Amino acid sequence: MGLTGGLVPPVIAATGFGGERAMDELAVIASVLYQFGTNAAFLLLCALGLIVILGMMNIINLAHGELMMLGAYTATIAYQRGMPFWLSVVCAFVAVGIFGAILERLVVRRFYGRELGALVVTWGISLILAQGTLVLLGPFMPAIPIPGGNFAVGQYSFSGYWIGMIVVCAALIAALWWLYNRTEIGLHARATMQNATMARALGVNTDRIYMLTFSLGAGLAGMSGALLAPTTSIQPFMGQQFVAPAFITVVVGGAANVIAGALSSSLLLSLVKTPVGFLVGAFWGTVVLLLAALIIIRLIPDGISAAIQRWLERGARVR
Amino acid sequence: MTDENKKADDVTEQPAARSSQTPGPGLKRRDLLRNVGVGSVAAGLGSATYLQGLNLGRMRAMAQDTGPVKIGFIEDESGNLAVYGLQKLHAAQLAVKEINEGKTLKGDANIGAGMVGVLGKVAANPPVISKEGTALDVVNDGGAQDKADLVFDEDDDILIDSGEQGVLGREVELVSADGQSNNAVWQQLARRMIQQDQVDVLVAGFASAEREAIRPIVDQFSQLYFYTNQYEGGVADANTFCTGPVCEQQVIPTVQYMVENFGPNCYTIAADYNFGQLTAAWTRAFIPLVGGNIVGEEFIPLSVSEFSQVIARIQQTNPDWVMTLLVGQNHHNYYPQAAAAGLKYPMASTVNMAQGYEHKRFPPPSMANMHNAIQYQMEVPTGRNRAFVQRWMEMFPEDQYIGEMAQNTYFTIHLYAKAARLAHTTDQETVRRALELGWGIEAPEGSVFLEPGTHHCAHPIRLAYCDEQHNVSFLRDWPMIQAWWLQRLGVNLIRNPEYKQYVPDEDPYFSFV
Amino acid sequence: MRILELIGGNEDIGRGPLFWLPFALVVAAFLAAPAWLTEFEAYNISFYLLNIPMALGLCLLWGYCGVLSFGQVAYFGIAGYTYGIVAGNLVGLSWGPLAGSLAGLAAAAAVAAVFGYFVFYARVQMWIVPILTLVLTLLLETFLGQTAGYQWRVGSVQLGGYNGMTGIPSFQLGSHVFFGFSFFYYVLVLVLACYLGCRMLVNASWGKVLLAIREDALRTEILGYDIRFRQWATFVLAAVLAGVSGLLYVQWGNYITPTQVGLLQAALPVIWVAVGGRDKLLAVIFGTYALNWLNYSLSSQGNQYALVIIGGLLVAVMLFFPRGIVVSIAEFLSPRRRRSA
């Protein structure tokens, strides 16, 4: 085929010492687990904001990448002004969330029920945001240095920051679960997702729920952008690199259950991508990811979360 | 290449205005053909009239004897590659301003390559230039100057009076357009510049894809074209002059230095497109000749921005040093990610640091221990470069960096002005012949020589090194490295005009082992 | 006469002499191009025109059948690359470009047939189709993008990766090479043929069934129509039309890169169709032509705000003309016209 990635066999020290061999194997396992975790975390962060909006309003937000870009810029500027990093991330969440609320009020709400019109409008918004940032802030901005050090296991070293990100992702998932399942607003939101008319009839202020959901989705996108900002270069079109992974993760996950969808999809896709990427190369990792997405969508058209939901319901019915 | 069939006897209509073929310096009029063949409308599809009437392929872009000298300039001022395009635009603007004010760079036709060397006293180490600001402050002067070695003659002032304002008494005008990092737009803009604006010379192109998009158009209209960027080499095109460095000038010195100093095992990570593939091929072909070997190679799609798997594979293979040939915004993320993961291997590149100034954009120590053989980087501590940087910063005080390709654009435009002056015309065919005399020109990087037969430049090369604090020093100098590969292929565009790009596989001697 | 009847039908904007007369005048003006256009301007207009078949295909698929495909550019690219490979290998033979064109269309149709089979016969939900087609496009771009090495060649033609495939031969019939004004006429005639053909299609019974599918697929199926087949066939037809645009593009610029099938390019046909008015063929023609013209005009003037303006235009159009500018205007001009949805 012409790919010179080649197959790199895992290096196992061929010494006679059992202890060293075990250590090397442990290091390889640690490395693979680490890669799996970082791939999943990356996909999850890309997809979270998008899936919240999609799950509630069935709107495909093509400006998602640019919202992440805005979050990254906000965090970078805040950090440059002297704010500690974690505070800049929170700042990005709040700022982009507010921006999302404004956007929803002004533009997006006219497109509920018209998903394809929403597509075009959000594309237009993404153009304005990206080019506007270029005009206003120039082509580049110095990046935030990656916080956290690194530690070594065997001959592999790992970045503390990515470990931290995996933890943050877990915390985010937990927080979202708590929000949707243990608060009143979450209850209203789930009701609106299930049947908006009925919910409105029962007194739920669906307009406010929509606005809050879009705001939350935008805020999450901003936060993801801020978290990913130290690992990437800050420039107006940086959102583009997140759009494809975000979409694929969202579509594979499905919108039936926001949290289950995002989590299961990012884990599954990372499970597919990690071994291939590790053994063969980054290119084949990407190809396998896309092929897996195609196959999963073909087999389970409305996403994994819907399949999980069905399986749970079947289980409940049997009992 | 487009087939152009011209049948001389198929003319049913003579176009209104025909240029006279009278020779004479600078007095040929441009062939402005407007077709009034209404009668051919019905048979429009089958009519060869238009082809004949427009006489493409033989169309000579002809100079106007009055009016400004137009330099067509296309770069990406927005989009993905804007960080490089804006620098080059500023370089062009600076050069045009200097020419219009009556200045030129030292240099003449038919002077051969090389710099004068004398014996002198040097310091043990090269000076280290600070990464802060643009004043080229010396952080560490390298020690006492007590070692005897060969030094190169430097003159402080390479900008001299040209004896006139502008070129041939006419003002130079920069006609610039934004390619938006979009190849379709590049094509349209190239056509507009050539057909509508009728520029006297075209200076354009950053990425190889952009150059290849417009080169067929350039050839169709026999437009004089300068490509000022570093690239993978091999363009043998009678209309094109490539003034940027090529693989044999950058890859080979880098690899030689790295193998000598760090060990034979190299792991290559490259952008997965032509430039990355071909440069990696050069690395692979050359490294056995200095006793090294490639222990791993990975080509990364341009859309990948998350590198933990790549980093893990490098760690697993444990090479002596890493060759990074990464291009584009997504790929630049590798450096901070690798630094955060604790990757401590010495790095070598031919693309990073000098163009996109990563050592200033990323916080230390992302680019620590990076080596790059380049012909120019803003931190070159010579007198002529300090003067150049100062002139630039006076005109563009907001700029953060002057990259490799920006400097190439600068001296290329001055070179064009000199060639046009020698030719006493801006007629493109004549200027091309003037350029093919072979030119030695003094650029901020050093002495550059434009080789007649290959249309490429011989450059002085330096090995740039970026330390833990991202300060820069130059560890080794090669006063002149030729672009010899096309010569080995037998390319002589004066005797044998060609219009193609050679790839290493067409060279039977490319790989010796 | 059946043909004239079909062309004159009312599933598209405009009927009767009030429409056809201005239409004929516009076409005549284009035909008289050399009188009032420079070759350079004609060349640019050729570019605006050659995107129209792809937009027409998407209009058929989306506007009339209700299936949104984000991946039309994939077929654009497949046809273009196939033409480049076949015609490039047959260079020197006068029938080479013709063979290449047919091969390009066949390749686009074949891929669409296979892909469409998996999509439509699986009864995938309609809102998944845009994503699936987008993923296909991304896969194609990823694949094409890594074909930079010299080993990636078919015959004597290199695929070229992100440098693109260069030196693609222009179209020629016999010994005449289509270039400049003759290429302009070639494009014009082809686009007219595509438009009139599509118009005939939507006015025929096939078009009515498509509309029925768009309105309510289940009901149409219950009425006995094989909706899978019709959706599949329309999908293939749209792919062939996109392939026509792809062929014309490489014959126009003699060059193609993987970015032509990338994410940014994929959204463009959708934008053109949405702005013009997705359920009327003529509207789509206006939308495509106007947006391409606008993009070029802004970018060629070096306008930094080009993308901002276009983005703003998109937002404004969707807010105030949700059915598309041209469709809204047409409906405004003829309030007695039956609204088709």
The per-residue pLDDT string of chain A (319 residues; one tens digit each, 9 = 90 and over) reads 333 333 333 333 333 344 566 777 888 888 888 888 888 999 999 898 888 888 777 787 889 999 999 999 999 999 888 888 889 999 999 999 999 999 999 888 888 877 777 877 888 888 889 888 888 887 777 777 777 767 777 667 777 788 888 999 999 999 988 888 888 888 888 888 888 888 889 988 888 888 999 999 999 999 999 998 888 778 887 887 788 788 888 888 887 777 888 888 899 888 888 888 777 776 777 788 888 887 887 777 777 888 888 887 887 776 5
In chain C, residues with a C-beta closer than 8 Å to the C-beta of B196 are 38, 40
Chain B interface, best mutation among A137, A162, A231, by max B CB count within 10 A: A231
Q: Is A5 on the interface with B (CB under 8 A)?
A: yes
With contact defined as beta carbons under 8 Å apart, do C279 and C59 qualify?
yes
Considering only CA atoms, which of B103, B205, B213 is closest in space to residue B160? B103
Chain B interface, best mutation among A157, A165, A270, by max B CB count within 10 A: A157
List the subunits that have 3+ CB pairs under 8 angstroms with B.
A, C
- pLDDT-based confidence at B328, cuts 50/70/90? confident
Q: Cβ separation of A126 and C311 shorter than 8 Å?
A: yes
In chain B, residues with a C-beta closer than 8 Å to the C-beta of A30 are none
Could you write out the DSSP letters of every residue in B241-282? Answer: EE-S--HHHHHHHHHHHHHHHH-SEEEEEEESSHHHHHHHHH
Residue A155's closest chain B neighbor by CA?
Answer: B315
- Closest partner CB to A140 (pick from B299, B336, B361): B361
- Closest partner CB to A278 (pick from B86, B309, B363): B309
Which of A251-265, B132-146, C77-91 shows the lowest per-residue confidence on average (mean pLDDT)? A251-265
Residue C19 above 70 pLDDT? yes
What confidence tens digit (pLDDT) does each residue in B237-287 have? 999 999 999 999 999 999 999 999 999 999 999 987 778 888 899 999 999
Residue B499's closest chain C neighbor by CA?
Answer: C167
Q: Are residues B405 and B441 in the same domain?
A: yes
- Closest partner CB to C311 (pick from A117, A131, A135): A131
In chain B, residues with a C-beta closer than 8 Å to the C-beta of A278 are 309, 312-313
How many domains, in total, are found in chain B?
A: 2
pLDDT cut 70: percent of chain B above it: 86
Residue B7 above 60 pLDDT? no
pLDDT of residue A204: 87
Q: Are residues B46 and B99 in the same domain?
A: no
pLDDT of residue B93: 95
Residue B226 above 80 pLDDT? yes
Could you write out the DSSP letters of every residue in A127-151? Answer: HHHHHHHHHHH-S-BPPPPPPS-EE
Residue C74 above 50 pLDDT? yes
Q: Are residues B73 and B199 in the same domain?
A: yes
Q: Are residues B195 and B235 in the same domain?
A: yes
* CA distances, C79 to each of B470, C60, C103, C163, C192 (Å): 49, 19, 8, 18, 20
In a domain, B297, yes or no: no
Q: Are residues B95 and B194 in the same domain?
A: yes
What confidence tens digit (pLDDT) does each residue in B439-488 have? 999 999 999 999 999 999 999 999 999 999 999 999 988 888 999 999 99
In a domain, B191, yes or no: yes
- pLDDT-based confidence at B393, cuts 50/70/90? very high
Q: Is B386 on the interface with A (CB under 8 A)?
A: no
In chain B, residues with a C-beta closer than 8 Å to the C-beta of A155 are 315-316, 318
In chain B, residues with a C-beta closer than 8 Å to the C-beta of A269 are none
In a domain, B138, yes or no: no
Residue C126 above 90 pLDDT? no
Residue range C186-196: mean pLDDT, rounded: 93
**Domain with B224 in it: what CATH number?**
3.40.50.2300
pTM of the model: 0.78
Residue range B168-183: mean pLDDT, rounded: 86
What confidence tens digit (pLDDT) does each residue in C282-317 have? 889 999 999 888 888 877 666 667 778 878 888 888
With contact defined as beta carbons under 8 Å apart, do C304 and B78 qualify?
yes
Last residue of a domain, one of B18, B35, B59: B59
Q: Are residues B100 and B223 in the same domain?
A: yes
pLDDT of residue B38: 25
Distance from the Cα of B321 to chain A's closest Cα (Å) equals: 15
In a domain, B401, yes or no: yes
pLDDT of residue C338: 52
What confidence tens digit (pLDDT) does each residue in B41-99 have? 333 333 333 333 333 333 444 445 678 999 999 988 766 677 788 899 999 999 999 99
With contact defined as beta carbons under 8 Å apart, do B50 and B90 qualify?
no
Q: How far apart are CA B508 and CA B511, in angstroms?
A: 8
Residue B14 above 60 pLDDT? no
Residue C330 above 90 pLDDT? no
More confident residue, C109 or A258: C109
The domain in which residue B41 lies consists of 1-59
Q: Are residues B5 and B35 in the same domain?
A: yes
Q: Are residues B87 and B200 in the same domain?
A: yes
Q: Cβ separation of C124 and A301 shorter than 8 Å?
A: yes
pLDDT cut 90: percent of chain B above it: 47
In a domain, B285, yes or no: no
List the subunits that have 3+ CB pairs under 8 angstroms with C.
A, B
With contact defined as beta carbons under 8 Å apart, do A289 and A248 qualify?
yes
Residue C341 above 60 pLDDT? no
Q: What is the ipTM of this complex?
A: 0.74
In chain C, residues with a C-beta closer than 8 Å to the C-beta of B504 are 150
Residue B190 above 60 pLDDT? yes
DSSP state of A301: T
pLDDT of residue B252: 92
Instruction: Tell me the domain boundaries of chain A.
Output: 25-235
Q: Is B503 on the interface with A (CB under 8 A)?
A: no
More confident residue, B23 or C147: C147
Q: Are residues B55 and B77 in the same domain?
A: no
Considering only CA atoms, which of A2, A31, A43 is closest in space to residue A286? A43
In chain A, residues with a C-beta closer than 8 Å to the C-beta of C127 are 58, 115
pLDDT of residue B238: 95
- Closest partner CB to B299 (pick from C31, C146, C179): C146
User: In this structure, what token pair is assigned to residue B306?
Assistant: 């998350």
